[in-house]
Structure 1
Amino acid sequence: MCPSPLPTITKDILDVIDTIYAIDDRIAMFEAFCENMGKLVPISSAAFLPATPLAGNLILQNGLEFNVPEKNLRLFCTYYAPLHPFAMNGQIPELMDRCHNKAISLTDVIPASRLAETEYSRDFQSLHPIFYELGGALGYHGKPVGRFGLHRTRKDRDFSKREKEIVTLLMPHFARALHEFEMKGGNGFRKTGLIMTKADGHPLYMDNEAKRLVKGPPWKTIPIAGHGADTASFLTEEGRYHVRREAAAKSTIFLDLLPVENSLKVKSKLAGFGLSRRQEEIAWLVVLGHSNREISDRLFIAEQTVKDHIYDIFEKIGVRRRSELTAKIMGLRAEGEE
């Protein structure tokens, strides 16, 4: 369990979230994110390092800096990362890998008095200079996106509990945005919608695309995804949209609204995987968000037969779960795919 407190979502927090999704340039988005977040959580600098999709190893390429010289980021990656107190405490990397999108401060791991005596602080932090750090592992749909850190100088105060809560709330949005850039090769976002709700379905945030598609309270339009089936879908005036559900923080849910290609295009793709005609039917119904029971009723076959067909479909297409199947058929890059 990785409990994450949920602070009251103020207009200032919503403004930062809007900034994350409004800018279609990765570097400009990071700079605007840091500047706007800095009004709520003052920082002197910040940095982000991507992680390899499966192992979660940090890589320098495509790193992002805010008031951090690139040479310092390179020095951190090549030498000082293993000396960071997070890395020296064996439980922290494990916690970060298990608990994506939870902010942890450096002084949660080591007292400030002891931090000042470490090689990391004496030889690396003094170069910048930084002292207090707040960071964490970013993840999207259970896969690592990278790690990022927010910094303050020794003359500043440490990060407060409230500030950690705010950053924890923003981290899933930052992770999602970076993931979207990666899927588009850094060239901007797909045209998707985002709704953030409480566990009971009460909406906390809807981006402009979601508002345009839903046109009213989301619970009246969008089926619940992730309860009994991995996927769900709904029909708009522009076509069908797939709903992908992700637990973002304590009592908070992300609903990604992804456009589904028309049936002719999708069925043309399915024909290339060597599926039987029945398997193509079932794969298409999975994309549309139907559960095994619903597919069974629709095709007048046993539910176990549906499960057997889906197992064979996964084997032929080379996926392990419904979300990966949907991503592959829709032409997206599934999480964890190079």
Structure 2
Amino acid sequence: MPGSVPREQAERDLVRQCHAGLPLPDLWGRVLRSLRRIVPVDAAFVATADPATLLFTGAHAEEPLAGASARFLENEFSGADVNRFAALATARRHVSTLDLATRGDRVASPRYGEIMRPLGLGDELRAALVAGTECWGYLCLHRADGGRGFTAAELELVARIGPHVAAGIRDATVRAAPRPGPQRPGVLVVSDDLALVASTPEAEALAEVLDGGPGELPLAVQALVAALLAAERGRGPSPLGSTVRTRTGEWVRLSASRLTGPVGGVVSVVLDPSRPASGAVARLAAHALTAREREIAVLVLRGRSTREISAALFLSPHTVQDHLKSVFDKTGVRSRRELVGLLLAGPGG
């Protein structure tokens, strides 16, 4: 129960859990248990995100949220509601509440009127979990309707712990040693209402090591399709895809496109585990590189010389070398060859 231990001690315990090197399922459980010792929560949702695209890559949702994931995704990509996760990820402040964003007028939010109120939910506290400049996940806490909303002190607490939770997600995502998993690309065919229409055996195997059960769509796939549908309706940019870590520690690249022809109203999603550098951008982000340093590291990965990088980025060769030295320092390597080996081999490689 909140208040059963001193708040300062409970917060310290929560932060310690974030830096204990826990795998994601254990991290989620311990963070939510520790958080509930400080903040009353009636339902919670936690998710991982691709730092490059800000799309969901996996999630844990408590009831009654789990059964409404498709409606929450549609709302997230509608572009017409407050506190969307991707907006919080790029905002100056990464946390907010529904009551704060609507000035206490909850019915101004379609998410509240169409999804949350029918589920008996009232105020919600949302946070983009950002470590450095990279968003690694999202947190959403709900209160039952009719009760009090989240306080300013609770909002500040979540703002303080958010970067620590993000670091825990980052470390669990990036450093987990890979185990052998499916190696051939697969295809899922998904309807516009986010239902699975057809799949290849390879895709089914990959979906199961993401977070989907037999016949279920992983959240990463649902989010990518929802983003594509929003783009088709003019509500956002067309998604470039996302990179997801499986439960077996492999990296899978997801891409989606509209199928045309006699079969209408369906989207093809390709799940490709075959490219060894699929997780390179995420691994770079885990070392707290700046945007410019990541650009240079990716070009090194592609075999570009200092002169070629200089021309591509309109930088002097001396500036390129300065950035590259910083990349070496942050990643703990001493040469281009070691950097490429680190990124391509990945954790445990």
CA distance in 2, matches of 1:118, 1:49: 22
1:253-264 matches, within 5 Å, as: none
Aligned partners of 1:26 and 1:186 also within 8 Å: no
1:142 corresponds to 2:133: yes
Shift in Å, 1:118: 4.2
Q: How many residues align?
A: 207
Q: Look up the match of 2:98.
A: 106
Q: Look up the match of 1:178.
A: 169
User: What are the Cα deviations for residues 135-173 of structure 1, in whole angstroms up to 9, with x where unaligned?
Assistant: 122222212223221111113211111111111111010
CA distance in 1, matches of 2:318, 2:76: 50
User: What are the Cα deviations for residues 106-152 of structure 1, in whole angstroms up to 9, with x where unaligned?
Assistant: 1111033x313543222200343321111122222212223221111
Q: 1:19/1:68 Cα in 2 relative to 1: closer, same or farther (>3 Å)?
A: farther
Q: Look up the match of 2:58.
A: 62
Under a length normalisation based on structure 1, what TM-score does the superposition of the two structures give?
0.50
Which one is further off, 42-51 or 173-182? Answer: 42-51
1:13-24 matches, within 5 Å, as: 13-22=11-20, 24=22
Q: Look up the match of 1:120.
A: 111
Q: Which letter does structure 2 place at the counterpart of 1:26?
A: L
Q: 1:323/1:62 Cα in 2 relative to 1: closer, same or farther (>3 Å)?
A: farther
Match of 2:83 among 70, 80, 86: 86
1:1-338 matches, within 5 Å, as: 10-22=8-20, 24-56=22-54, 58-59=55-56, 61-79=57-75, 81-82=77-78, 83-87=80-84, 94=87, 96-99=89-92, 102-112=94-104, 114-116=105-107, 118-185=109-176, 308=317, 311-312=320-321, 321=327, 326=332, 329=338
CA distance in 2, matches of 1:104, 1:34: 18
For the aligned residues, what is the CA RMSD? 4.0
Q: Which letter does structure 1 place at the counterpart of 2:148?
A: R
User: What are the Cα deviations for residues 57-92 of structure 1, in whole angstroms up to 9, with x where unaligned?
Assistant: x32x411224454332233113455353224xxxx9
Gaps of 5+ in 1: 1-7, 188-243, 247-269, 277-306
* Identical columns (%): 15
Q: Which letter does structure 1 place at the counterpart of 2:45?
A: A
CA distance in 1, matches of 2:112, 2:97: 15
CA distance in 2, matches of 1:86, 1:109: 7
CA distance in 1, matches of 2:304, 2:106: 59
CA distance in 1, matches of 2:177, 2:331: 23
User: What are the Cα deviations for residues 171-209 of structure 1, in whole angstroms up to 9, with x where unaligned?
Assistant: 01000001111102587xxxxxxxxxxxxxxxxxxxxxx
Q: 1:181/1:110 Cα in 2 relative to 1: closer, same or farther (>3 Å)?
A: same
Gaps of 5+ in 2: 1-5, 179-286, 290-299, 307-315, 345-349
Shift in Å, 1:44: 0.8
CA distance in 2, matches of 1:28, 1:139: 20
CA distance in 2, matches of 1:186, 1:66: 28
Q: 1:50/1:97 Cα in 2 relative to 1: closer, same or farther (>3 Å)?
A: same
Q: Which letter does structure 1 place at the counterpart of 2:320?
A: Y
CA distance in 2, matches of 1:37, 1:139: 18
User: What are the Cα deviations for residues 8-58 of structure 1, in whole angstroms up to 9, with x where unaligned?
Assistant: 9822210111222336231222122112111111111111233332232x3
Q: 1:185/1:25 Cα in 2 relative to 1: closer, same or farther (>3 Å)?
A: closer
Under a length normalisation based on structure 2, what TM-score does the superposition of the two structures give?
0.49
